[in-house]
Amino acid sequence: MPIPVIVVDDEPTDRYIVKRKLSRTPGFGEIGEARDGEEFLSSYCGGPAPDTPPLVLMDINMPRRDGFQVIEELERRIGSGACHRTAMVVMLTSSDRPEDKERARAFNLVKGFFTKPLDDADIDTIRELMSA
């Protein structure tokens, strides 16, 4: 069953690059996008539950809430029952700061950390993570 994807990134070019890249890779289904954390939280928590938990590619450096704050809020909403869905999140960022990697590791929802641009090896790793 193809895995739905949501790309959360304020940079339109980067959303476009990921969408194009994944669209020609087998195994991934519908690719949605959100321009920032707010848009992602409201559409994701508010929309109908999909059959398969989606893969969320989350940028870190975004206006208003950064990627970590968005995940924090998502975990809070799932924990309080305000969001009835779960997801598998991987960070996709141009940062390779050790602090950011450390922070990412602390979240239950976050399964991976990748630096832009996403290449074929990264996609293989994501597939392995999804099937694990």
Partner 1 sequence: MREMTEFETYCHALDVSPVAMLVIGRDDCIRHSNPAADTLFRYPRGALGGRPFEVLVPDELRDLHRRHVAAFRKAPRARQIGATGGLACKTGTGEIVSLEIGLEPVSIDGQQCIVLAATDSHERVEKDRDTRRLLDASASAMLMVDRTGTIVFANKVATRTFGYVPGEMVGKPIDMLVPERLHEAHRGHIRGYFGGGVARPMGLGRELHARHRTGREFPVEVGLTPIETPEGTMVMATLVDLTAHVAAERALSEKVSELDLLNEQLRSFAYSASHDLKAPLASVSGLMRLCLDDMRAGDTAEVMQNLHLARDIADDGVNRVEKSLGLALAGHQEHMPEPVAVEALVAEVWRELTWSNQGRARLVTDMSLGGPFVTDRPALRVILDTLLSNAVRFRDEAKAEHVVTVTASDESGWLLVHVSDNGVGVPEESRHLLFKMFGRISERSGGGLGLALAKKLVDRLGGEIRYVDSRRDGAEFAFTLPMAREPENAHSSDSRRR
Q: What is the DSSP secondary-structure string of 101-118?
A: HHHHHT-SSEEEEEESSP
Site map (CB under 8 A) of partner 1, residues 20-59, x = contact: xx--x----------x------------------------
Among 116, 123, 125, 130, binds partner 1 (CB under 8 A): 116
Q: By the 8 A CB rule, do 126 and 112 touch?
A: yes
Stretch that binds partner 1, among 50-58, 78-86, 102-110, 112-120 (CB under 8 A): 112-120
Tell me whether residue 52 or residue 61 sits nearer to partner 1 (CB atom): 61
Binders of partner 1 among residues 64 to 93 (CB under 8 A) are 64
Q: Does 95 bind partner 1 (CB under 8 A)?
A: yes
Tell me if 121 contacts partner 1 by CB under 8 A: no
* Rounded-to-integer distance, Cα 111 and Cα 118, Å: 16
Which SS3 state, helix, strand or coil, does residue 40 take? helix
Q: What token pair was written down for 102? A: 């450390």
**Cβ burial, residue 116 (10 Å; 0-12/13-18/19+):** middle
Q: Which residues bind partner 1 (CB under 8 A)?
A: 10-14, 17-18, 20-21, 24, 35, 61, 63-64, 94-95, 97, 115-119
